[in-house]
A and B are shown apart, each in its own frame.
Chain A
């Protein structure tokens, strides 16, 4: 397992990368959670009556957000998170390859 670790490019700049990595992770999280809140609680609940004035393909818009649209957005948010984090991992040289990890290489920080 040490082999796979040594082959990875190694984090640039000592401890600084960790702070940077965490900051970017948190920033992404806040943006995605803001969208999560606006779409579900905003469009689906707080402003549903106003949005229901608009009807598209038979669906009042607020009703559509509550019963369909928010679910699609949730799915896209998680997809965006996975893709961004993969990119972030690659950029910092800490990308995990499923085959190489061998199941037990990352038993957790507690060990």
Chain B
């Protein structure tokens, strides 16, 4: 075993031990604890848990690598994934908390109808599942490189660990485990970033100091056959950058496993502050990621530029073993670098390894490399657990018991939820071993689907009383159907041929159009059909105000 493997094993065993202990100590048996942690999570802890829950393998492992190769165009992920929190905080969180149910389908079920509830439960399962596949794949990459196992085994190991603690405790244990995971992942991300910033620029704040290397990076990139780093619209036209950013923002706000988090606070006010703390914790990583991307790319390019292929740095050989780094056999000296195997460059580097390899590329000591591996796993595990909870609650709470066993008790519901998790994990392992696209792209699809299904239904449900069940159902089905159809049309999946995008809109960006289609269909159909009942408009009215004086409002809520 190399030093790196020893340190990786130590950090992974220590951090997993901590997660398991926390999960065991806060295990629960009641439904409310299982799904919403008894509405009793302190605001800052909730914010950290949301951060860990939501920052997935894509954020930790994939994103800085993507930005490194995309340059400016990688901003879609930075702005898209953080900007969604503004929508979430202003348009959704306080109102959904005031409504106070367990799941997103439950809100739309109460607000609209059982049919809409079923549609959104199915959409929640599709979205969460697509997303879980990305996490499994991310976990697999970490294990296969650092523990020297096959990527298939990496995925299976990750799945078993996730299953054990997600099934044991539900939301309460997941919440506190995620606080621990956030701590691990942010430390793992910041330490190498600060160290690299200090060595390269003398200023240990990566956010500030990476400006200094940008012009050097631009020159190096051009020399090695890549785009000018800071120039916009190299890989996508402006309209696509605009739409992808919008789709990711709306998708973030519509993600069922994030929305469910705002039910776990004590008060409506707490849910607003949770959104603030969540973005605060997320911003720590998200403002560092572009710096990590720029520094790593600079180091990478400088390290291999003009070097003979027999003489490449050690990290190239380490990662070549996983198949994620490839040296062109016909090349003697590295004159071109790419992240696209089809480009035929002298050195091909997969996006997904840059963060994990960053300390090695920068020549940092083995314990830091191990720490980063543990952080990458924490990110993949915490998100996967949150997603499995949504799948489990949607299946057991919103589908199975609605249709088959209305009288089931708490115990039976939890049992069915756990079975659903187990099935989801098995299917996710199979899909995680053969992912349809690289990690961040898979996640982007999940966001597009979330954007085009829930978001318009929830926002219109809160802000437009006239919106009715027929409209919402029609909007969700048409919006989601349109989005999935376009993705299938433009991508080579399930044996279908890929077609050229229309107007340069990529499959990641189509969710924004899908959301618009959804909203238009919802509004038109609502206006053509009967308005919702008085009972429902009164409920909508009531979630717009704080709950404290509600006992007076019950009698005189007639006024609009």
Contact = CB atoms under 8 A, between A and B. Distances in A.
Interface of A: 2, 4-5, 8, 10-11, 14-15, 18-19, 21-22, 25, 29, 32-33, 36, 40-41, 44-46, 48-49, 52, 56-60, 62-64, 66-68, 70-72, 74-75, 77-79, 81-82, 85-86, 89, 92-96, 98, 101, 103-110
Best-surrounded residue of A45, A85, A98 (most CB of chain B within 10 A): A45
Contacts of A107: 100
Given A41-B242, A71-B82, A74-B85, A57 B208 contact: yes
B172 interface: no
A108 B82 contact: no
A25 B90 CA distance: 9
Nearest to A88: B546
Contacts of B272: 78, 81-82, 85
B214 A106 contact: no
Contact of B83 (A52, A56, A74, A89): A74
20 contacts: A32-B86, A40-B245, A45-B242, A57-B212, A58-B210, A58-B211, A58-B213, A58-B214, A58-B215, A66-B72, A67-B67, A74-B85, A75-B283, A78-B279, A82-B89, A82-B272, A85-B94, A95-B269, A95-B546, A96-B269
Interface in B226-276: 230-232, 238, 241-242, 245-246, 249, 266-270, 272-273, 275-276
Given A40-B83, A98-B270, 10 more contacts: A22-B544, A32-B86, A36-B87, A45-B242, A63-B230, A67-B74, A82-B272, A98-B43, A108-B99, A108-B543
Contacts of B89: 78, 81-82
Contact of A108 (B72, B75, B98): B98
B82 A105 contact: no
A69 to B, nearest CB: 10
B283 A71 contact: yes
A103 B245 contact: no
B551 interface: yes
Q: How large is the interface on B (under 10, 10 to 19, 20 to 34, 35 or more residues)?
A: 35 or more
Contacts of B287: 68, 71-72
B78 interface: yes
Interface in B264-299: 266-270, 272-273, 275-276, 279-280, 283, 286-287, 290
Contacts of B230: 52, 60, 63
A45 B241 contact: yes
B2 interface: no
A82 B287 CA distance: 22
A104 B101 CA distance: 12
A58 B78 contact: no
B83 A36 contact: yes
Contacts of B110: 110
Contacts of B542: 109
Nearest to A58: B211
A52 B444 CA distance: 27
B126 interface: no
A100 B139 CA distance: 42
A111 B541 CA distance: 13
B544 A96 contact: no
A45 B544 CA distance: 34
A77 to B, nearest CB: 5
B277 to A, nearest CB: 9
B283 A109 contact: no
A94 B86 contact: no
A29 B280 CA distance: 20
Given A11-B552, A108-B99, A21 B539 contact: no
B556 interface: yes
B100 A108 contact: yes
Interface string B519-554: 000000000000000000001011111111111110
B416 interface: no
A79 to B, nearest CB: 6
A10 B215 contact: no
Given A63-B230, A78-B275, A79-B276, A85 B559 contact: no
Contact of A5 (B290, B549, B556): B549
B211 A57 contact: yes
Contacts of B241: 45
Contact of B556 (A10, A14, A29, A44): A14
A107 B211 CA distance: 49
B303 interface: no
Nearest to A18: B545
Contacts of A10: 549, 552
A101 B286 contact: no
A46 B242 CA distance: 8
Nearest to B241: A45
A68 B276 contact: no
A20 B140 CA distance: 54
B86 A93 contact: no
Contacts of A92: 546
Interface in B478-521: none
A93 B215 CA distance: 55
Contacts of B267: 96, 98, 101, 106
B40 interface: yes
A105 B290 CA distance: 44
Contacts of A19: 559
Contacts of B541: 109
B38 interface: yes
B364 interface: no
A10 B549 CA distance: 7
A82 B86 contact: no
Contact of A15 (B86, B99, B559): B559
B207 interface: yes
Contacts of A22: 544-545
B545 A33 contact: no
